[in-house]
Amino acid sequence: MNIEKMETKKIDPKLLLSTLWIFVILNYLYCDIMGLMDVNLLKQYLTGSVSGM
């Protein structure tokens, strides 16, 4: 194995940031949808008082 021939590939920063942004947005959407499926929380949302807030 010749170490001199090994190269590291750099990822374009714009591509990396856009991929991370999409990942974050999808996680937020998933959390919101799963939160709405909880019966107790949904009842609190509809009454307007979530855990005493």
In the prediction, which pLDDT does 21 show? 97
* DSSP line for 6-52: --PPPPPHHHHHHHHHHHHHHHHHHHHHHHHH-HHHHHHHHHT-STT
In the prediction, which pLDDT does 3 show? 64
In the prediction, which pLDDT does 1 show? 57
In the prediction, which pLDDT does 53 show? 65
Tokens of 5: 């021939």
pTM of the entire predicted model: 0.60
In the prediction, which pLDDT does 24 show? 97
- Dump pLDDT digits (tens) for 1-53: 566 676 788 889 999 999 999 999 999 999 988 888 888 888 888 888 887 76
Q: How far apart are CA 50 and CA 36, in angstroms?
A: 12
Q: How far apart are CA 15 and CA 21, in angstroms?
A: 10
